[in-house]
Structure 1
Amino acid sequence: METLFTRLEEASHAGDVNSLKELLNQDKHLLEKVNGRTSVGDNPLHIAAMLGHADFVREVIYCKPELVKELNGQGLSPLHLATAHGHVTVVKELLMDGSDLCLISEEQEGLLPLHIAVKKRTVIVKE
Structure 2
Amino acid sequence: MDERYERLRRASQAGNIDALYALIREDAYLLEGIDQIPFFDTPLHIAAAAGHTDFIMEIMNLKLSLALKLNNDGFSPIHLVLQNGQEETVLDLLGMKKDLVLNLKKILKGLK
5+ residue gaps, structure 2, are none
Map Cα deviations across residues 62-107 of structure 1 (whole Å, 9 max, x no partner): 11111111111111111111011111232123112234324437xx
Task: Provide the residue aligned with 1:122 in structure 2.
Answer: none
Q: CA RMSD in A?
A: 2.4
Task: Provide the residue aligned with 2:108 in structure 1.
Answer: 114
Query: Cα offset for 1:22?
Result: 0.7
What percentage of aligned pairs have identical amino acids? 39
> 2 CA distance for matches of 1:76 and 1:45?
11
> 1 CA distance for matches of 2:10 and 2:102?
30
Q: How does 1:79-118 map to 2 (within 5 A)?
A: 79-104=78-103, 112-115=106-109, 116=111
Structure 1 outlier segments of 4+, above 6 Å: none
Task: Provide the residue aligned with 1:45 in structure 2.
Answer: 44
Higher normalized helix content (fraction of residues): 2
> 1 CA distance for matches of 2:70 and 2:108?
16
Specify whether residues 60 and 101 from structure 1 end up closer, same or farther in structure 2 by C-alpha distance, changes over 3 A only: same
> 2 CA distance for matches of 1:57 and 1:91?
10
Q: How does 1:10-25 map to 2 (within 5 A)?
A: 10-25=10-25
Specify whether residues 76 and 104 from structure 1 end up closer, same or farther in structure 2 by C-alpha distance, changes over 3 A only: farther
Partner SS state of residue 104, structure 1: helix
> 1 CA distance for matches of 2:88 and 2:25?
27
Tell me the matched-pair count: 109
Task: Provide the residue aligned with 1:30 in structure 2.
Answer: 30
Task: Provide the residue aligned with 1:9 in structure 2.
Answer: 9
Task: Provide the residue aligned with 1:70 in structure 2.
Answer: 69
> 2 CA distance for matches of 1:92 and 1:82?
10
TM-score (norm 1): 0.74
Partner AA of 2:12 in structure 1:
S
